[in-house]
Structure 1
Amino acid sequence: MLSEKDGGVAVETTGLRARRKRRTRDALVRVALELFTGQGYERTTVDEIAEAVEVSQRTFFRYFSSKEEVAFAVQDLMESHYVAALRERPAGEGPIEALTAAVFAAWDTVEEAVSEIIPIDLHMRSYLMIESTPVLLAAHMRRSAESEELLAGLIARREGLDPAHDPRPRVAVAAFGGVMRAAGRQWGRGGDASVEAIRTVTEEWLAHLGPALAADWRPPSTPRNA
């Protein structure tokens, strides 16, 4: 039987092991993204990533199943913060209002979490790298579709709806996701790669979501057949 002292040592050893694993995982993410953004995703090999971190290829695969998984590691972290923020939104908010508020609530918490792994500027460059790499852009669209299913389920539960028979949760999430992607592309075409810049663009574009879904875009004084 472990004494109190022995138990303390065991807990400390477990905590140290967990921290070492976290440091190794974070180093793999950081180095991989530096290589991807510096020389290209397809030109970078798992062996290069592992060698730069001074671990074996086998160690890399203990943490990630593929280059794609490590490329999206920070995106996955951001999504987890967003889902958590959406779950915490007040029940009285409408679907689009809750989705929008959750974006900015998540950004208020995720920036610190991201910067513990990689510099923010590297994260922003990685976003642009994903958008400009066909194989990663295809993976991004696939992952976005999976994410939209999750979000539609959350919205349906908030509204007391059955998404199998009521399309509105999926419609709302699809519209919202489309605006987010369009805002990201608009930001990517600009010269400012900062978090503040993408946040400003996103705020501006999301502000148009409700009006864009209105039945008639024309001013009341403009006839429809004009």
Structure 2
Amino acid sequence: METLRERKKQRTRDALVRSALELFTTQGYERTTVDEIAGAVEVSQRTFFRYFAGKEEVAFAVQEMTEAHFVAAVRARPAHEAPMEALRQAVLDGWDAIRETVESAVPVELYLRMYRTIESTPALLAAHLRRSAATEETIARLLAEREGVDVDTDPRPRLAVAVFGGVIRVTERQWSTGDDFSLLAMRQLTASHLDQVGSALIGNWRVT
């Protein structure tokens, strides 16, 4: 059972995340200081650093939770599913759970606004791509384990994840610059783009 001390620490951490994301999305990542984030929660800078190594870590705190959930969802997919189908179903079937994960820390609307901030902030976008690469490697190794192949000699796990990761990045960029800025719109766009992968890779695009 979670103790009172543990609940208090979690509330402080969540408050720091909300404070940081609000400041990042309203006044900009570069212009926001750790002192401002801590001050908004009425804690010291020292307290902030008990929870986070710096601004980048707190900026991606909620995304880290959703990424961990996705990796767990891939691991839980039925063994008979082909790799690309397992990835597709993990992200689409787990959408409601991902929403609950986000809402446990911050309002979904704030999480979605942070997506746009990441896309428009070079330092955050670079960090996002670096983090995505690390997550993709984790998933490639997971797929290799599922399929009983050696990830270091068989390129297929990394190829599958590279294609999937590319679809997700295209989806994020299109969604973040579109008019419908909802989680449902992101899910629908993700499903639509994943459905087009086969024809995009092997089909003929020319209209005769």
TM value normalised by structure 2? 0.96
Aligned to 1:165: 153
Aligned to 2:193: 205
Q: Could you say which structure has the larger radius of gyration?
A: 1
Aligned to 1:109: 97
Partner Cα distance (1:157, 1:92) in 2: 13
Deviates more, 1:72-81 or 1:106-115: 106-115
How far the C-alpha of 1:192 sits from its partner, in A, is: 1.4
The runs of at least 4 aligned residues of structure 1 exceeding 6 Å deviation read none
2:30 equivalent to 1:45: no
What is the number of equivalent residue pairs in this alignment? 208
Partner Cα distance (1:207, 1:155) in 2: 20
Q: From 20, 36, 60, give the equivalent of 1:32.
A: 20
Partner Cα distance (2:75, 2:27) in 1: 39
Q: Is the CA contact (8 Å cut-off) linking 1:78 and 1:106 kept in structure 2?
A: no
Aligned to 1:122: 110
Aligned to 2:69: 81
Partner Cα distance (2:18, 2:74) in 1: 28
Could you say which structure has the greater relative contact order, defined with CA pairs below 8 angstroms and 6 or more residues apart? 2
Q: Which runs of 5+ in 2 are unaligned?
A: none
Aligned to 1:3: none
Partner Cα distance (2:94, 2:205) in 1: 35
2:204 equivalent to 1:217: yes
Aligned to 1:8: none
Deviates more, 1:196-205 or 1:36-45: 196-205
The residue type paired with residue 13 of structure 2 is R
Partner Cα distance (2:189, 2:103) in 1: 21
Partner Cα distance (1:166, 1:217) in 2: 28
What do the CA deviations read for 1:85-141 (whole angstroms, capped 9, x no partner)?
A: 101100010111000000012222121121121111100000111011000000001
The residue type paired with residue 113 of structure 1 is T
Q: Is the CA contact (8 Å cut-off) linking 1:37 and 1:129 kept in structure 2?
A: yes
SS of corresponding position for 2:94: helix
Partner Cα distance (1:154, 1:77) in 2: 18
Q: From 134, 158, 180, give the equivalent of 1:146.
A: 134
- The 1:33–1:157 alpha-carbon spacing in structure 2 relative to 1, beyond 3 Å, is same
Q: Which runs of 5+ in 1 are unaligned?
A: 1-10
What do the CA deviations read for 1:159-203 (whole angstroms, capped 9, x no partner)?
A: 111011001100000000001100111111211111011111111
Cα RMSD for the two superposed structures: 1.5
